[in-house]
A and B are shown apart, each in its own frame.
Chain A
Amino acid sequence: MARRLPLLHRVLSQPDSARDLDGADWSRLVRQARTNGLLGQVLNLLAECRNLDTAPDAVKRLLSAERHLADHRKRALLWEADELRRTLAPLGVEPVLIKGGAYIAEGMPHAHFRHFGDIDVLVPPEVLAAVEKRLLTAGWAMSNRDPYDQYYYRTWMHELPPLRHIKRGTHLDLHHTITPRTSRYATYPEKLFAQARQATSHASLSVLSTEDQFLHGAAHLFSEGEAGNALRDLFDLRALLRHIDDLAVLRDRAEELRLQSPLALALRHIERNFPDPSVSKLADAAGRWAHGAQRLDVLYDRVFVIGCERAETGNPSLGKATEFVLNCRGHWLRMPVALLARHLTRKALKQLFSREPSTETVRN
């Protein structure tokens, strides 16, 4: 049962016990944290318990770099969210911030250092068309005009194709629910809106209830087809969980939203990756509401350490097979088989005739 966890997992679980790291340990930790998008978070945790004092100067400078990034990003995000609120106010629509933006608006300490590329908001399905129209007249444009992608998003997904502001370049994902319509984790958007509330630190902005934020995060993480941000997203869930006093409320809500399965997976893997002897209620809860979650250990025990293994070896192609399985699971959860077959055939044919670069091309 006991897996040997990577250094990053151990330091994130118990930063106060990470004393006496040597030069090689710091190298390893920074690399693992960078690959998983958790550098700011882990260095800040270490600084809080004074375990960064003995680090090489370069590591201390990395924390100040992450602080600059985070301060600027936070300011930009809150500005953009407020702008969005003002843009939609004439329609009487209050956009609900979800994912990273919500954590920032809630003033959650872990979220301060979180990297994110776009803003995600949720609006009721019945006003979606009006909101889209309003945004298109306020400087937002579709960043993807491919007719099939447009059709695919609008017919089957939980969000519109990504929008991009023509002047500021900001990316916006406009959601009308939190999981694809055809997903096995499909839920009831009206129930989410019923419990949306003001954000803790920024009362002019709206967020989902803490339980719903957790369940959304879990449903998203455990239907995701890529491993890149998996550990970061799991760490987010662990931080959110600390703001939930009563696990029974969380469980009841999961039942109501039909998200018991992602809840069980989330609790199980938080416990498996960030074990904390002081918190045993989680292990108990995870055990009691297992929902067969343990059957996926083979897959997810790998998924949450792939980033660290890539950092360790410097080899980005490591774990491709695991990612392939993860991708298959993601698609399988997203839509029924017949529809999936149709969609994948379309995608494959399209890819055959146009090869688009997936990563940045060298400049400077």
Chain B
Amino acid sequence: MKLASLGLPGLTSTLSSEGIVLCTGRFRYRIRSSAATIAPALAIAYADFELGSSSDWFDFDIRIEPSAGPRALLKPEVGLAVDGASPFEPLPADQAFALLEWGMNWCVTSTAHDAVNCHSAVLERHGNALLLPAPPGSGKSTLTAALAMTGWRLMSDEISRIDLDGASVECICRPVSLKNASIGLIGERFPEAVFTPPIRDTVKGTVAHLRPPGDAVRDTRGATPAWVVIPQFAAGAPVEMTPITDAELVAELAGNCFNLSGVGEPAFRALCHLADRAKGYRLRFGSLDDALLAINRLSEQ
């Protein structure tokens, strides 16, 4: 059953009772919430996602509820709980959906040490995976959204899950998190793009989530790592795609890795295996068109 088939009233009431079980690749999240903004945002961003049953196996149990306590009287806040523990400080109530998304990322990065989890987007074309590892502010999500809207299959925006033999990357497709000017940029360029309502004044500025386009949700196959492109947006800069050595590639991925100390030595070996297969590049760009062109040219070589 797809999430959209619940309808907004059905989704709202299910969320505040037994909750839904959202399936994203191999991870199943049970989500319960009575926070007002959660249901409408889920209905937009996750419309095409399959639902599981809360009386069967699920990986994480998430609750997002309005905080009690004296501070809540002054300013409404929401708190996130995962498996009955609170890993984060509460946030203002209107940031509930952003908190949920960050919490879902945290679930994977803090527990799933069966594979290497890097801070990187993953897209696929013809069975080949493109990894875009980068710290926040590098233009990674903007590029990811644009590629996903132009024929690449979105496999993940925030986390690349690399198997320990370095030979495949998992599909854990979820919405793309866009920030600030990128929201308008992608919205204008792709009128068919569907976004959750923007949330202002988060730690990352304004945030909106893009519904994964096309086949992304239906096709959950993994892919073979073929290219690792380290993007760096620089306003006004000419586009520049520079090959890097295997050692640099491993160091870059390791630097963007969430669980190097969770997986330990096998993680380092996995990244070395990946470097044997994939080619690494540094991409400096000042315009989205140039960057897309450069990446597409890479994939056609």
Contacts and interface: CB of A to CB of B under 8 A. Distances in A.
Contacts of A69: 113, 262-264
Contacts of B79: 316
Give the top 6 A-B pairs by smallest Cβ distance, nearest first: A72-B264, A310-B84, A23-B56, A65-B113, A23-B57, A311-B84
Secondary structure at chain A's binding surface: helix, strand, loop or mixed? helix
Interface in A244-264: none
Nearest to B91: A362
A310 to B, nearest CB: 3
A362 B177 CA distance: 15
A362 B203 contact: yes
B106 interface: yes
A31 B83 contact: yes
Interface string B55-97: 1111101110000100000000001010111111101000000
Q: Which of B26, B81, B91 has the most CB of A within 10 A?
A: B81
A364 B111 contact: no
B140 interface: no
A257 B112 CA distance: 43
A317 interface: yes
Interface in B242-270: 258, 261-267
A26 interface: yes
A276 B63 CA distance: 35
A24 B56 contact: yes
A315 interface: yes
Contacts of A316: 79, 81, 84-86
Interface in A327-358: 357
Given A35-B83, A312-B84, A364 B106 contact: yes
Contacts of B299: none
A318 B65 CA distance: 14
Given A35-B84, A314-B61, A314-B83, A65 B119 contact: no
B190 interface: no
A362 B263 contact: no
A214 B205 CA distance: 51
Contacts of A76: 261
Interface of B: 26, 28, 32, 55-59, 61-63, 68, 79, 81, 83-89, 91, 99, 102, 105-106, 109, 111-114, 119, 136, 158, 203, 258, 261-267
B105 A364 contact: yes
Interface residues of A, number: 39
A17 interface: no
A24 B53 CA distance: 9
Given A58-B26, A68-B266, A357 B114 contact: no
Contacts of A31: 61, 83-84
A110 B83 CA distance: 23
A359 B88 contact: yes
A362 B89 contact: yes
Given A316-B85, A318-B84, A357-B89, 10 more contacts: A24-B57, A31-B84, A56-B57, A65-B114, A65-B262, A66-B113, A68-B113, A317-B68, A362-B99, A364-B158
Contacts of B68: 317
A307 interface: yes
A312 B87 CA distance: 17
A72 B111 contact: no
Contacts of A126: none
Contacts of B28: 58
Nearest to A33: B83
Given A27-B58, A61-B114, A68-B113, A361 B89 contact: yes
Nearest to A65: B113
A315 B57 contact: no
A364 B114 contact: no
A62 interface: yes
Nearest to B71: A355
B172 to A, nearest CB: 13
A146 interface: no
19 contacts: A23-B56, A24-B56, A27-B61, A34-B85, A56-B57, A58-B28, A62-B111, A68-B262, A71-B264, A72-B265, A309-B84, A311-B84, A314-B32, A314-B62, A314-B84, A318-B84, A360-B87, A362-B102, A364-B106
